[in-house]
Amino acid sequence: MNKGRVTLPITRYRNAVDVSTDDALVVEEPLEIFLNGNPYYLTMRTPGEEMFLALGYCFSEGVIDSMNDVSLVHYCGEENGNRIEITLDPKGQAAKGLEIKAKRLTTYSSCGICGKELVEDICTKLCLREDDVRISICQINDMIGNLEKCQQIFPQTGGTHAAGIFDKDCQLLAFAEDVGRHNALDKAMGKLVFNGKINEAMVAVMTSRLSYEIVQKTGRSGVQILVGMSSATSLAVELAKNINITLIGFAKKGWGNIYTTAKRIIL
């Protein structure tokens, strides 16, 4: 049984004709992340790979840099439950001067925030990208094809996003699929953090649109090229430009819009 999808009875209509049938839906459930025994974050996600999601989220938020900052990560109660507990290493937390504040949010929102100030604030926490990766259009095509082959829930439900992270040779390092695009990226990054390979991340490919949050998350790693199969937002482009990430939107096989740092792409 695939815990990422569920089959339910529906009525399907086509040209004023209805028929009773079954349809596969992606599963969406809440996940709570606790840090040092305290509630930290609540998100809606597709069940599976919860520990990677929690580690990836903490990495993208700057709470941890590697597994050296983590004393323990585990499910609260039964395995594959809806709560993950992370205990931070006291020495690492003290060295960073971390003050953990709860973020009990289910979505991101830019409403009421000045875009310029937001980008400036994020840039102070992110390093400028190196500029030593070059990839071809053919390699982008191959990565998109690789991502599509890895998807198991989307072909059945049409309701998930996928994220793939690749090395400098465009070899797949980590893949994840989730109802939320942010969760998919966090899960993939969490796998790299867990396995000590986050420094090998050079290219990220998303099936979704590219928002500033996605650029921010990839910006915490060494990713130099971020590819999305949908649109990019203006704030995403501004942030990518400021930290020297190559941003490509509307990517399909042989197609794409390069918004920033086009010299990394061999046409």
Is 124 in a helix, a strand, or coil?
Answer: coil
Is 257 in a helix, a strand, or coil?
Answer: strand
Q: Give the chain's mean pLDDT.
A: 86
Q: What is the mean pLDDT of residues 7-13?
A: 78
CA 230 to chain centre: 15
User: pLDDT-derived band of residue 10, with 50, 70 and 90 as boundaries?
Assistant: confident
**pLDDT cut 90: percent of the chain above it:** 55
pLDDT tens track for 66-76: 999 999 999 98
Query: Which has the minimum average pLDDT: 24-38, 99-113, 143-157?
Result: 99-113
Q: Which residues contact 260 (CB under 8 A, 6 or more apart)?
A: 237, 240, 241, 244, 245, 246, 247
Joined together, the tokens standing for residue 51 give 């520990």
Name all domains of the chain by residue range, CATH numbers in brackets.
135-266 (3.40.140.10)
In this prediction the pTM is 0.86
Residue 111 annotated to the active site: yes
Q: Which residues contact 156 (CB under 8 A, 6 or more apart)?
A: 2, 5, 24
pLDDT tens track for 51-94: 999 999 999 998 999 999 999 999 987 666 789 999 999 877 65
* pLDDT the model gives residue 77: 72
pLDDT surpassing 90 at residue 162: yes
* pLDDT the model gives residue 34: 93
Residues 187 and 55: beta-carbon distance below 8 Å: no
Measure the CA–CA gap between 263 and 243, rounded to whole angstroms. 15
Minimal CA–CA distance to 253: which of 227, 232, 233, 234?
Answer: 227
pLDDT surpassing 90 at residue 118: no
Q: Which residue out of 76, 111, 123, 170 is catalytically annotated?
A: 111
Measure the CA–CA gap between 218 and 162, rounded to whole angstroms. 14
Query: 42-74 burial, b for 16+ CB within 10 Å, e for fewer?
Result: bbebbbbbbbbbbbbbbbbbebbeebebbeebe
User: pLDDT-derived band of residue 106, with 50, 70 and 90 as boundaries?
Assistant: very low
* pLDDT the model gives residue 108: 37
Q: Which residues contact 61 (CB under 8 A, 6 or more apart)?
A: 103
pLDDT surpassing 60 at residue 241: yes
Burial class (CB in 10 A: 0-12, 13-18, 19+), 242: middle
